[in-house]
Structure 1
Amino acid sequence: MRTISSYGVEIRKQNIPVRQTMEVYRQAVGYLTEIYAQVWEDLRKIPETKKRFNTAEHMVHMTKKNTAQFDFDLRFPKMPSYLRRSAIQHALGSVSSYETRLGQWKEQEPGVLSGRPKLTCKNHAMPVFYRDVMYREGAEGKDEAYLKLYDGHDWKWFRVYLKRTDMEYLRRNWKGKKASAPTLEKRHRRYFLRFSYTEEVTLTKTPVKEQIICSVDLGINTDAVCIIMRSDGTVLGRKFIDFPSEKDRIYRILGRIRRSQREHGSAQACGRWAYARRLNTELARKIAGAVTAYAEENHADVIVFEYLEMKGKISGNKKQKLHLWRKRDIQKRCEHQAHRKGVHVSRTCAWNTSRLAYDGSGIVLRDGKNHSLCTFSTGKRYNCDLSASYNIGARYFIRELLKPLPATERSLLEAKVPSVKRRTLCVYADLRELHLQMEILKTA
């Protein structure tokens, strides 16, 4: 399996024409997009991508053996060849996407026509600095690089100083691995060089009965509850992952935003909202890193999440917390980090995982004052998120154990343990019973 990781290295403030280079590149992409939109009927007749690209380049670039139809070289003199080809590729992709969307729009029924697609020429394209011709690494151990930039008159080499902490991270974690050509990136009025690294990894192929899983219940009160479990239901470890200081900082900023909006209106709170979003993104990174680290520490073969899909209008006194809850972002980051370690990621149905007690006693009653606690029908007090994580891991094993069995054997086990027929009602106690019946069936 191939995984791609990227990291943005901040360019320190200095007198280099990064902004001018970005503007010239975007102007070139916009000009080429207009050209290829005019001649798209001729380009679309060429089925092969490489031939289409070569034809498009011959239309705008003058050589000894070729006369260009358009004055691109006069408008953008001395543009490096790799940067010109990158702009051509971007423009072709924009026009092709527009024509596809336009065709789909025309095929709609007359009464269902929505807004007509638009061809955007002034897009947010960012230049790619290809190695040796536009990007050169600095001396070993130094936080610098050399970029070919446009100073308003000509394309020249400039020395760029990079942020020390970012470079130390790359040396520590990606030393000896070749990065792809860096792409210029602009975030929060700062410029970055984004490096991408490609790795070939082999995911674990451990049989289901020998697997160790990390079952994860993501929550709002507690960020994550992790359970290390075997296929017979044996629990090897439990961990509550929580970052109260980070959440307290977010809630304090949200309180300031509410007060500011009451006094001055919503227009004055844009900066604080951006700060709150950055804090929330950083919290998601920490949660994902902690979950992956705990799974790797316990040699887990699979990380199991709930499939969380919230639709419709969110109401109630916790609707703001639910809106800020980055559940899918956490799972996406965990999946990427886990695949780099050779660990699988799986998801199960989220219905009734928190509502049903893990011991099979039925529906639980949530505590009104402390929503993390619940009471079983037997009177037992327990952590609701911990009970849910037991059920999540059990549902994964029930599904994977029953899936490869022949129909007759599966029907026999379902008759012995009727609750496994409906996956949305499976709990941890059902996995224990299913494992017992499978052992009895094996010895019979």
Structure 2
Amino acid sequence: MVLVKSFSMSRKPAKKRTKRKKWQSASLIRTDVWSLSLTRHQRNLAILTVEEYRHFLKPLVLIAYWNWSALLGLTAKERVNTLEKLVHQTADNPNPKYGWYFKKAINNHPSFRKFPSYLRRAAIQDALGIVSSFVTRWQDWKRGNRKHRHDKSPKLTAFCNSYPALYKGQQIRYNANFNAVDLKVWNGKDWVWLLAIPVRSSGKSRHLGQDNKLMSPSLIANGRSVHLSMPVEIAIKELPESDWVCAVDLGINTTATCSIVSRDGTVKARKFISPARDIDRRDQRKQRIATKSKQTRKITKRNLPQGFCKGLYRKSKQINEHIAQVVSKAVIDFGIAHQVRVIVFEDLSNWKAKGGKHGSLQKQRFHQWCKDRIVELAIQKFSELGGNVVKVNAK
């Protein structure tokens, strides 16, 4: 009885608080999407290049996993060099440890003999990242850090949906105005250049910013589109000091209320942000889901099947994302217009709604409230401009 009593009175261990990301740094990396104008033949060559890269990546993932205990204590550069020596035969390395394994892969894919060396090193880095991610997720699963108690263990997927990184001058070249690029692709027999491919759009054109630096893009080619995922290293220039801050109050009825406040509490400007049309569109789709689910249960006398109204759920989620984008941009524009350096939000990350019955309209509105996403986007956008976002206790 004593054991039972002591066990029942014991408290549950407190959850570990996750460390917050430090968004402010000397530089940030943001990614733009460069849309390309390709013919059908050029599109097919780009898809063929991605398939060739993935076939070459598969044995590298397995070899990296087999030797992960030896690679774990090395630096990132040493890992790449070590894994390359395990598979690649040279005059200084005539008998690599897994040369026999790669010879079998070459027999199955003779095109590996022409695989470029710079793309090989990109594939090695990709394989190391895949294995490192799997090992981390596996260790977390063994420790019990799971979303659900009965979650299955993670699996190492050797044939991953990765895309090749293109090194400047080796597999991608830019013209003077960045309105066209040359790509080196695999045509089934050899690696050839596709010249002067027009760039239809370049996202937010971050590469044109002063002191910003282009990095190696990835070639994204599939049945839907072909584009370049272009990372840009942004040099941050801090905004000047100011005696005013932009205080933001996030709410249900009015999405955001922004106030420009001084040190002594004086308010010189205020703005109410509420994209009512988008909110109505989102709520209408949620109401349609509720009506359809009620009718379906009444007719079938069963639980809803998997994937029920997935189209409406997807549209509602996308509208919510659009609301967060619009509101966060409006907050940033309001702060920049009044030359503030700091934007203050309430810390509502661990807040949970207590009011409203299950399935009620009030409960649905709390569930759809995209407060965390608004703050996350505001942090990303304002830190890129050199500002700072601060969270304060809501109480």
Q: Fold-level match, TM-score > 0.5?
A: yes
What residue is the counterpart of 1:412 in the other structure? Answer: none
- 1 or 2 for the larger relative contact order (CA 8 Å, sep ≥6)? 2
Amino acid at match of 2:82: T
Q: How far off its partner does 1:85 sit?
A: 1.1
* Secondary structure, aligned partner of 1:217: strand
The alignment covers a number of residue pairs equal to 342
Distance 1:347 1:82, change over 3 A: same
* Aligned counterpart for 2:216 among listed residues 155, 178, 181: 181
Give the distance between the partners of 2:210 and 2:198, measured in 1 at CA.
Answer: 17
Q: How does 1:260-299 map to 2 (within 5 A)?
A: 262=295, 267=307, 269-299=309-339
1:71 maps to 102
Root-mean-square deviation (CA, aligned residues, Å) is 3.4
Task: Sort the Cα spacing of 1:6 and 1:271 in 2 relative to 1 into closer, same or farther, 3 A.
Answer: same
Q: Following TM superposition, by how much is the alpha carbon of 1:174 offset from its aligned partner in structure 2, in angstroms?
A: 3.8
Determine the structure 1 residue equivalent to 2:56. 28
Q: Secondary structure at the match of 1:214?
A: strand
SS at match of 1:278: helix
* Distance in 2 of aligned mates of 1:188 and 1:258: 34
Correspondence list, 1:301-320, <5 A: 301-310=341-350, 315=358, 316-320=360-364
Question: How many Å separate the matches in 2 of 1:258 and 1:228?
Answer: 40
Distance in 1 of aligned mates of 2:333 and 2:268: 16
Is residue 4 of structure 1 aligned with residue 29 of structure 2?
yes
Which of 191, 194, 204 is the aligned partner of 1:155?
191
Matching residue of 2:255:
223
Alignment match, 1:214: 246
Q: CA deviation at 1:184?
A: 3.0
Shift of 1:180: 1.4
For residue 252 of structure 1, report the CA deviation from its aligned partner: 3.5
Does the Cα contact within 8 Å between 1:260 and 1:268 map onto a contact in 2? Answer: no
Does 2:189 correspond to 1:145?
no
CA positional deviation for 1:135: 1.2
State the TM-score, normalized to the length of structure 1: 0.67
Instruction: Judge conservation of contact 2:207–2:232 (CA < 8 Å) in 1.
Output: no
1:246 is matched with 278
Identity value in percent: 30
Cα distance in 1 between the residues matched to 2:132 and 2:216: 25
Deviation readout 1:71-99 (Å, 9 max, x if unpaired): 16724232222221121112123333444
How many angstroms apart in 2 are the aligned matches of 1:139 and 1:173? 12
Change (3 A) 1:192 1:137: same
- Counterpart CA distance in 2 for 1:43 and 1:329 is 37
- Contact 2:32 2:203 (C-alpha < 8 Å) held by counterparts: no
Distance verdict in 2 for CA 1:258–1:220, change over 3 Å: same
> Which residue does the alignment assign to 1:131?
168
Task: Please give the secondary structure, in 1, of the residue aligned with 2:345.
Answer: strand
Q: Give the drift of 1:345.
A: 1.0
In the alignment, the residues of structure 2 paired with residue 299 and residue 32 of structure 1 have an alpha-carbon distance, to the nearest angstrom, of 51
Give the corresponding residue for 1:442.
Answer: none
SS at match of 2:113: coil
> What is the rounded CA distance, in whole Å, between the counterparts of 1:117 and 1:292 in structure 2?
39
Would you say the 8 A contact 2:239–2:385 is kept in 1? no
Between the aligned partners of 2:199 and 2:250, the Cα distance in structure 1 is 34
Q: Secondary structure at the match of 1:47?
A: coil
Distance 1:148 1:274, change over 3 A: farther
Which residue does 2:6 correspond to in 1? Answer: none
1:118-140 Cα offsets, whole Å, 9 max, x none, are 32323332221111111122463
Note if 1:193 corresponds to 2:237: no
In structure 1, the residue matched to 2:374 is 330
Cα deviations by residue, 1:11-58 (Å, 9 ceiling, x for unpaired): 4463222322223323333221112222334444x6344333212102
- What is the Cα deviation at residue 312 of structure 1? 6.3
**Per the alignment, do residues 308 and 50 of structure 1 end up closer, same or farther by CA in structure 2, a change over 3 Å counting?**
same
CA 294–81 in structure 1, closer or farther in 2 if over 3 Å, else same: same
CA distance in 2, matches of 1:187, 1:283: 29
**Aligned partners of 2:198 and 2:186: how far apart in 1?**
19
Q: Which runs of 5+ in 1 are unaligned?
A: 352-444
CA distance in 2, matches of 1:30, 1:248: 48
Q: Which residue does 1:84 correspond to in 2? A: 120
Structure 2 unmatched ranges of 5 or more? 1-25, 297-303
Contact 2:250/2:256 (<8 A) preserved: yes
Contact 2:46 2:221 in 1 (8 A): no
| Residue 354 (structure 1) aligns with | none
Write the distance in 2 (CA, Å) between the matches of 1:13 and 1:259.
45
Q: Is the 8 A contact 2:344 2:391 kept in 1?
A: yes
**CA-CA distance at 1:191 after TM superposition:** 3.6
Q: What whole-Å deviation, never above 9, does each CA across 1:200-251 have from its counterpart, x for those lacking one?
A: 3243574xxx620000012232221000000101111010012122222333
1:362 is matched with which residue?
Answer: none
Please say if residues 26 and 125 of structure 1, whose CA atoms lie closer than 8 Å, have aligned partners that are also in contact.
yes
Q: Retained in 1: the 8 A contact 2:211–2:235?
A: no
Residue of structure 1 in register with 2:39 after alignment: 14
> Measured at CA, do residues 334 and 106 of structure 1 come closer, stay the same or move farther in structure 2, by a change above 3 Å?
closer
Q: TM-score, normalised by structure 2?
A: 0.74
Give the letter for the 2:279 counterpart: K
Letter in 1 for 2:344: V
Question: 1:428 matched to which residue of 2?
Answer: none
CA contact (8 A) 1:11 1:160 kept: no
What secondary structure sits across from 1:71 in the alignment? helix
